[in-house]
Amino acid sequence: MSKLLSPDRSTVLFLGNEAIARGALEAGIEVATGYPGTPSSEVIESLAGVARERNLYVEWSVIEKVALEVAAAASFAGLRSMAVMKQNGVNVASDFLLHLTASGTRGGVVLVSCEDPGALSSVNEGESRYFASMMEMPLLEPTDFQDAKDITKWAFELSEAIGNVVMLRSVTRMSHASGNVTCGKLPTKRRNAAFEYDGPVMDSQTGPMISTPVMAKHLLRQQKLKDVQRMFDNSPFNRYTGPAKPDLLIITSSACFLYSCEAVEMLGLQKRVGILKLATTWPLPPNLLEKYLRKAKTILIVEEVMAFLEENVKVLASGIAGRVGVKTFFGKYNGALPFAGELNPDIVADALGKILKVKRKSLPADYQTDVQKTAALIPVREQTFCAGCPHRASFWNIHNAIALDGRKGFVCGDIGCYSMAALSPATGYHTMPTLHSMGSGTGLASGFAQLSRFGLDKPILAVCGDSTFYHAVIPALINAQHNRADITFIVLDNAGTAMTGFQPHPGLAVSALKDVVPAVDIAAICKAIGAKVAVSDPFDLASTSRILTSFLADKGSLKVLILRQACALSPEKKGKKAFDVKVDESLCIGEACGCNRLCTRIFRCPALTWDRDTKKAVVDEVICAGCGVCASICPQQAIVKTEVSAPG
Amino acid sequence: MKEKTFIKTRNVILTGVGGQGNVMASRTLAHMLVDAGYVVTIGETFGMSQRGGSVMSHLRISHDSVKSPQIPRGGADVIVGLEPLEALRVLTVYGNPQVCVLYNSRPVYPIGVITGELSYPSGETIRDAFERLSAACWEIDATSVGLRLGNPVLSNIVMIGALSKTGLLPFDRRRFEKEIKKTLSAGKYKVNLKAFDAGADMIK
């Protein structure tokens, strides 16, 4: 049995994302959708794992906007549903969201945004909390794992109570952290889907689901938010801990609550500092805040990235200053906490210590000195493509083709593991100078290609992954064709949404529920658009380089090269070597070769290392994935690959 | 059922390089401790952050409450390193004179070292640093044991076996057996138990 279906009252270790999934199951969810993105993916993955047993419909949608639309349809038909995405996914879904909050919803529908302060696995630390106030929808932020489950369950009830979508926000340190959770009951009854639309336009249960009449519906929504404030005032998920009259009141939410507790403990300030934990952060609960703002003159707001909570608390406090008195606020605006990056107990303790003039116990001075000296000996470990990664071979090919062409072409990057080609010179052979949102590489390339008339006369390339292709590249590619942009567009097709854990996408013949589905062929789409299309294996350096070189020389049209090779970590490949790779020591002539250590200085595979004693290349058998590409780059042919016979 | 109770929260950091089985090891350890009645919080990062880079799991083992998923600076009680350099890196941030360290001696070279731009400290230098900066340390060659058992990634379980023998955390072979019986297939179960035993045998 899946851990997610553990019996009522059992205590299990859940990932924050699993706790959210369990909460949804306890709420009796029928439909769950999402697009993969760290740190959100495990919510949908774990629900997909129990979909058959629980009779759910779960899908990986092609893009977040569609995920929310599919979830909304279930809500309109009276079912409970959830759409799950990472922070920037909410941007993508926001156009529909604007209209969804305006039309209202029926069955409970929850938008889950798992965000990444500090950009631990993102190229942005975008905030979706502002969408809650902008779209006027309630925002819930769990502060621990039990909360994550319980609040998710409650979010569906809240959504139904107000007839609108509710947003639940998590962060990496909640979604990808784990903790004890005591399970509740799983419902046994199911709802039937029925969509009514013949009633009066203002009837939320029988009328059409539309955003008009705009003003009337807008006012109705704002009225409902008054009810939400009352519910939030009485919510058991908001809690105060600390003395009756604290010297300082911390107001916090999300994982920052745990950092705040730890910071207070580290400084031994339990008798001086109180913590108001808010799980309901928009709209703020006015009476609850008034009650606790009365308790202290000094307020510290602890939150990550932007000052969303601080701004809203300040607005509320200024409105009731006559009753609660004037406060001294510490937070982002006065510099106590940073506006960027994630927090941790140390950052909060340092801020708190400074305000209350309390010093932290430090380590012995000689220990600290020794630690500093030792730290100086430790080389950095840059992120890099894995051993056997097809992207290393692809960028090797791209770099060489651009160099051969000689006109200093460049690559517009996109979102996937291959983004690392932009992050670090260690991986990309200096070819990828732009990196933005999903699909933007192709859009930018389409724009750069128009600039030759203004003097920017270089070959323009763009890359994207297979999942990204379906997500947001297609409109940009059609734009390129329609406007006759001369670009070489390369699909790095590694047979799955690899970076987030091999979720299926429309190019594969399998769905989230493991049903066989028709695969949507990238090459056929590109041909239908009118591009010249070629397919190659990036591990075949000779043929890939031939195609790329001819594409760069072929001016005036849209060219698409699909580089197909599965990710080295993919379930079908993992741990299985295609080749045994060894360096023949008699052939490797080390630094005398004249290649200037092409293998280890330039190619940069973590499995191909340099023996400082023998001064020759050596393959680390523990790390080598057996792709055999390095055998094609050695000018001495000293790297030898032998095919591994099928495992017997 | 709870068997033992710490007065204070125990802070454990498991570290290594992406792909060494850090996440699996930390979850196995945490599941055993939850089963033993503790409240465990794990903080970790995975996704793109793991690709060839340093990885870390923070385990907070408490008798009563959820803790911050990030351990404060200087706050580790136990460091388990699947790779020596990463164990040392963690020690320089989270170490203190009372910390105990168990680490695998087999290096995974960073790209900067492979290219020759950076240098990797010698085994001797690393050993000396651990001896100076910890209250107790154990070095074992877990990767070789993994290779002998047919898969180098088993080194993570070898380390868990060794950890059980150090007595730093409240779990034993019986608990491990119970845990992997739930999660692994029969074939994998056997080899994992072998790896556990081999690790335990390496701690004298």
pLDDT digits (tens, 9 = 90+) for B162-173: 999 999 999 999
In B, which residues are within 8 Å of A383 by CB distance?
A: 48-49, 51-53
Q: Which of B30, B69, B132 sits opposite A13 (nearest CB)?
A: B30
Looking at residues A387-416, what average pLDDT do you find?
94
**Can you give the pLDDT at residue A571?**
85
**Could you tell me if A196 and A66 lie in one domain?**
yes
Strand partners, A582: A640
- Under the banding of pLDDT at 50, 70 and 90, the label for residue A406 is very high
Confidence at residue B1, expressed as pLDDT on a 0 to 100 scale? 38
Number of CB atoms found within 10 A of residue B3's CB: 11
Mean pLDDT for all residues in chain A: 95
Mark whether A540 and A588 lie in a shared domain.
Answer: no
Overall size of chain B counted in residues: 204
Which of A233, A256, A284 is at the close of a domain?
A233
Please, are residues A19 and A155 in contact by the beta-carbon 8 Å criterion? no
What ipTM is given for this predicted complex? 0.94
What average pLDDT does range A271-283 have in this prediction? 98
Average pLDDT of the segment spanning A506-520: 94
Nearest to A624 by CA among A602, A646, A645, A639: A639
CB contact under 8 A, B72 and A500: no
- Write the DSSP symbol of residue A496: S
Among A205, A233, A261, where does a domain finish?
Answer: A233
Mean pLDDT, residues A422-440? 81
Distance (Å) from the alpha carbon of A438 to chain B's nearest alpha carbon: 15
| Closest residue to B51, CB basis, from A370, A385, A610 | A385
Residue B127 has pLDDT above 90, yes or no: yes
| Residue A367 covered by a domain | no
Q: What is the CATH number of the domain that holds A192?
A: 3.40.50.970
Residues of A whose CB is below 8 A from B122: none
| The predicted structure's pLDDT at residue A181 | 97
Question: Do the chains contact at A146 and B66, CB–CB below 8 Å?
Answer: yes
Contact call for A384 and B51, based on CB within 8 A: yes
Task: Say whether both A434 and A542 belong to one domain.
Answer: yes
CATH number of B10-201: 3.40.920.10
Model pLDDT, residue B7: 64
Q: Residue B18 and residue B52: Cα distance in Å, rounded?
A: 5
Contact at CB, B42 and A371, closer than 8 angstroms: no
State which H helix or E strand residue A17 sits in: helix A16-26
Q: Percent of chain A beyond pLDDT 90?
A: 90
Kindly state whether residue A425 falls inside one of the protein's structural domains: yes
Residues in A closer than 8 angstroms to B97, CB to CB, are 363-364, 367
With CA atoms as reference, the chain A residue closest to B64 would be A180
Which residue in B48, B49, B115 has the most chain A C-beta atoms within 10 A of its own C-beta, making it the best mutation to test that interface?
B48
Chain A residues lying within 8 Å of B113, measured CB to CB: 379
Q: Tens of pLDDT along A132-178?
A: 999 999 999 999 999 999 999 999 999 999 999 999 999 999 999 99
Examine residue A375 and state whether it is found in any structural domain, yes or no.
no
Q: What pLDDT is recorded for position B4?
A: 47
Chain A residues near residue B109 by CB distance under 8 angstroms: 606, 609, 620
Taking CB atoms and an 8 Å limit, are B34 and A380 in contact across chains? Answer: no
Name the least confident of A39-43, A285-289, B44-48: B44-48
Residue A24 has pLDDT above 50, yes or no: yes
Mutation site for B-interface testing, chosen from A362, A389, A622, A623 by largest number of B Cβ within 10 Å:
A622
Asked whether the predicted pLDDT for residue B88 surpasses 60, the reply is: yes
Q: What is the pLDDT of residue A80?
A: 98
pLDDT digits (tens, 9 = 90+) for A222-264: 999 999 999 999 999 999 999 999 999 999 999 999 999 999 9
pTM: 0.96
Q: Which of A555, A544, A566, A444 is nearest to A498 (CA)?
A: A566
Domain stops at, among A511, A540, A564:
A564
Q: Who wins on pLDDT, A524 or B2?
A: A524
Q: Does B129 touch chain A (CB under 8 A)?
A: yes
Least Cα separation, residue A13 to chain B (angstroms): 7
Closest-CA residue of A relative to B68 is A258
Q: A284 and A224 in one domain?
A: no
Range A459-490 burial, b when 16+ CB lie within 10 A, else e: bbbbbbbbbbbbbbbbebbbebbeeebbbbbb
- Tell me the pLDDT band of B53, cut-offs 50, 70 and 90: confident
Q: Which residues of B touch A377 (CB under 8 A)?
A: 121, 125, 129
State whether B118 and A385 contact (CB < 8 Å): no
Helix (H, G, I), strand (E, B) or coil at A140: strand
The reply to whether A23 falls in a domain is yes
In a domain, A383, yes or no: no
pLDDT at A612 over 90: no
**Within this chain, do residues A419 and A546 fall inside the same structural domain, yes or no?**
yes
CA A379 to chain centre: 28
Going from N- to C-terminal start, the domains of chain B cover 10-201
Q: Do B72 and A120 touch (CB under 8 A)?
A: no
Check CB contact of B5 with chain A, cutoff 8 Å: no
Which structure tokens are listed for A631? Answer: 């055998």
In eight-state DSSP terms, residue A588 is -
Per CB-CB distance under 8 Å, the chain A contacts of B106 are 622
Task: Kindly state whether residues A226 and A257 are assigned to the same domain.
Answer: no
Q: Is the pLDDT of residue A425 over 70?
A: no
What is the share, in percent, of chain A residues with pLDDT greater than 70? 99
CB spacing of B51 vs A12 below 8 angstroms: no
In a domain, A97, yes or no: yes
With cut-offs at 50, 70 and 90, classify the pLDDT of residue A428: low
Q: Is B47 on the interface with A (CB under 8 A)?
A: yes
Helix, strand and coil content of chain A, in percent to the nearest 5, comes to 40, 15, 45
Residue A423 has pLDDT above 80, yes or no: no
Is the domain of A318 the same as that of A208?
Answer: no
Q: Which domain holds residue A608?
A: 579-643
Sign for the CA dihedral angle at A611, A616, A621, A626 comes to: positive
pLDDT band at A334 (very low <50, low <70, confident <90, very high): very high
| Closest Cα in chain A to B40 | A179
Residue to test with chain B: of A182, A346, A378, most B Cβ within 10 A: A378
CA dihedral A590, A593, A595, A599 (to 10 degrees): -30
Q: Which contacts (CB < 8 Å, 24+ apart) does range A607-616 have?
A: A607/A387, A607/A388, A608/A639, A608/B114, A609/B109, A609/B114, A610/B114, A610/B116, A614/A585, A614/A590, A615/A590, A615/A591, A616/A583, A616/A585, A616/A588, A616/A590
Asked if A267 and A211 sit in the same domain, the reply is no
Question: A58 or A383: which carries more pLDDT confidence?
Answer: A58
Nearest-CA distance B200 → chain A (Å): 22
Res. B18: pLDDT tops 60 = yes
The verdict on B134 touching A (C-beta cutoff 8 Å) is no
State mean pLDDT over A540-544.
97
Q: Does B44 touch chain A (CB under 8 A)?
A: yes
Residues 6 or more apart in contact with residue A328 via CB below 8 angstroms: A297, A298, A299
- Contact criterion met (CB < 8 Å) for B66 and A178: no
Q: Which residues of B touch A346 (CB under 8 A)?
A: 72-73
pLDDT in tens, A207-226: 999 999 999 999 999 999 99
Enumerate residues 80 to 119 of chain B having a beta carbon within 8 A of any beta carbon in chain A.
85-86, 88-89, 91-92, 95-97, 106, 108-116, 118-119
Residue A46: the pLDDT is 97
Q: Is the pLDDT of residue B156 over 90?
A: yes
Report pLDDT digits (tens) over A174-205: 999 999 999 999 999 989 999 999 999 999 99
The reply to whether A207 falls in a domain is yes
pLDDT tens for each residue of B111-125: 999 999 999 999 999
User: Could you tell me which chain A residue has the CA closest to the CA of B90?
Assistant: A375
Q: Is residue A125 part of a domain?
A: yes
Q: What is the pLDDT of residue A337?
A: 98
Q: Is the pLDDT of residue A91 over 80?
A: yes
- Asked whether the predicted pLDDT for residue A383 surpasses 60, the reply is yes
Does one domain contain both A149 and A124? yes
- A328: pLDDT strictly greater than 70: yes
Contact criterion met (CB below 8 Å) for A450 and A487: no
pLDDT at A648 > cutoff 60: no
For chain B, give the percent of residues with pLDDT over 90: 85
Distance CA(A608)–CA(A587), nearest Å, equals 16
Q: Into how many domains does chain A fold?
A: 4
Confidence grade of residue B2 (pLDDT, cut at 50, 70, 90): very low
Query: Is the same domain home to A535 and A439?
Result: yes
What residues of A are in contact with residue B70 (Cβ under 8 Å)? 173, 259, 344-345
Same domain? A228 vs A262:
no
Whether B75 has a pLDDT exceeding 60, the answer reads yes
Cβ-Cβ contacts under 8 Å between A and B: the total is 190
